[in-house]
């Protein structure tokens, strides 16, 4: 196993990517906040299918955390992450520090409307401006041909696609399917926060969502079905539901039967907030 080359400055990143491109190699990027798991590995595998070279960024982005959120507690395990990337075949790890990404005096911010409206924004109003700003910076720094984002963060994937479309950023955004454990729980760095008992409860979320999606596909009243899903999630042992919603799959606008749809959810289990989403089956 060979670990990826590690760079932490924009100049070293650009030097490495420029050398690849002079040789005619295509480049795919996987932006991450570290604490890598099998879901991230699947993104690297997708990147290596799309391009000749893969760069993975590891940066815990403070601009997408509210003051009340878990920035300081977010897991950081660089050596383990580099070993994971080596096994996955990534070529380069970009590990900038906070001062590299946001030097003194930095005050730019990118607001994306459309798919950013509602859902996560109702509970984390700063989130997508933070995502859009850091992703735009990463794309300008690395100039990849492709960027791979997991469908597990589906609203984020839609926002990043719109960011590139609206600002003419020449990066092809590739969505990768959600990786789940044997019980269907979506892989997430925050799953590490769950106790053994909480993990048993967490694995019920995807089952309730799948049942609700099937009911919607069969013509159930959306308002009733989604409220029943919220009640079922709380009944399963979750402490609070932020949302369970049905949205049109492409724009995240209003969904109605017959349209390609997505059911999205966010719920609290103890101090851990879990999100998930899946297709509403086509009738």
Cα dist from 195 to 59, 87, 99, whole Å? 26, 28, 34
Q: Is the pLDDT of residue 122 over 90?
A: yes
pLDDT at 24 over 90: yes
- Give dist(CA 187, CA 138) in Å, integer: 24
* Domain CATH for 154: 3.40.50.620
Same domain, 119 and 259: no
Is 183 a domain residue?
A: no
Q: Does 98 have pLDDT greater than 80?
A: yes
> Which of 176, 203, 218 is the last residue before a domain boundary?
176
Phi, psi of 47 (to 5 degrees): -60, -40
Half-sphere exposure of 280 (CA within 13 A, CB side): 31
Tokens of residue 222, six digits: 């959306």
Cα separation, 117 vs 223, whole angstroms: 19
pLDDT of 38 reads 95
Which structural domain, as residue segments, surrounds residue 256?
Answer: 189-277
pLDDT at residue 95 is higher than 80? yes
- Residues 140, 30 share a domain: yes
> Do 261 and 122 lie in a common domain?
no
* pTM of the model as a whole: 0.96
Q: pLDDT tens digits for 266-280? A: 999 999 999 999 999
Residues 157 and 225 in one domain: no
Strands 240-248 and 261-269: antiparallel
pLDDT at 256: 92
Chain Cα centroid distance, residue 267? 16
Clarify whether residues 37 and 132 are in a common domain: yes
Average pLDDT over residues 190-213: 97
182 domain-assigned: no
Residue 97 above 80 pLDDT? yes
Asked whether residue 72 falls in the same domain as residue 95, the answer is yes
- Does any domain span residue 184? no
Tell me the average pLDDT of the chain.
96
Q: Are residues 115 and 202 in the same domain?
A: no
Active-site positions read 40
Over residues 235-271, the pLDDT tens digits come to 999 999 999 999 999 999 999 998 999 999 999 999 9
Q: Are residues 24 and 76 in the same domain?
A: yes
Rounded to an integer, what distance in angstroms lies between the CA atom of residue 278 and that of residue 267? 15
pLDDT, tens only, 59-88:
999 999 888 777 888 889 999 999 999 999
- Residue 283 maps to a domain: no
The two structure tokens encoding residue 190: 């925050």
How much of the chain, in percent, has pLDDT values that exceed 90?
93
**Total number of domains in the chain:** 2
Assess whether pLDDT exceeds 90 at residue 180: yes
- Same domain, residue pair 131 and 154: yes
Domain check: are 84 and 126 in the same one? yes
The whole-angstrom separation of Cα 15 and Cα 254 is 45
Asked if residue 116 and residue 199 are part of one domain, the reply reads no
Last residue of some domain: 154, 176, 198?
176
Last residue of one domain, picked from the residues 141, 176, 211: 176
- 272 and 201 housed in the same domain: yes
Q: What is the pLDDT of residue 2?
A: 82
So what's the pLDDT on residue 66? 84
């Amino acid at each position: 196993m060979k670990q990826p080359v590690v760079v932490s400055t924009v100049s070293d990143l650009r030097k490495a990517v420029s050398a690849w491109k002079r040789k005619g190699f295509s480049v795919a990027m996987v932006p991450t906040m570290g604490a890598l798991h099998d879901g991230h590995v699947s993104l690297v595998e997708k990147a290596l299918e799309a391009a000749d070279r893969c760069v993975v960024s590891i940066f815990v982005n403070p601009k997408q955390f509210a003051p009340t959120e878990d920035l300081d507690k977010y897991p950081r395990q660089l050596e383990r992450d580099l070993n994971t990337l080596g096994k996955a075949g990534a070529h380069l790890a970009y590990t900038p520090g906070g001062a590299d990404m946001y030097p003194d005096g930095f005050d730019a911010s990118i607001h994306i409307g459309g798919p950013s409206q509602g859902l996560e924004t109702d509970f984390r109003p700063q989130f997508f401006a933070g995502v859009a700003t850091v992703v735009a910076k990463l794309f300008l720094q690395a100039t990849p041909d492709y960027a791979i984002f997991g469908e597990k963060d589906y609203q984020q994937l839609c926002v990043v696609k719109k960011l590139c479309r609206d600002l003419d950023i020449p990066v092809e955004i590739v969505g990768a399917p959600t990786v789940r454990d044997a019980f269907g729980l979506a892989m997430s760095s925050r799953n590490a926060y769950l106790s053994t008992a909480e993990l048993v409860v967490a694995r019920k979320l995807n089952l309730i969502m799948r049942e609700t999606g099937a009911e919607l596909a069969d013509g159930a009243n959306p308002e009733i079905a989604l409220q029943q899903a919220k009640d079922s999630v709380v009944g399963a042992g979750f402490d609070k539901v932020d949302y369970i919603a049905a949205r049109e799959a492409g724009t995240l606008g209003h969904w109605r039967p017959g349209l390609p749809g997505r059911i999205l959810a966010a719920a609290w289990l103890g101090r851990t907030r879990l999100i998930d989403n899946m297709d509403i089956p086509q009738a």
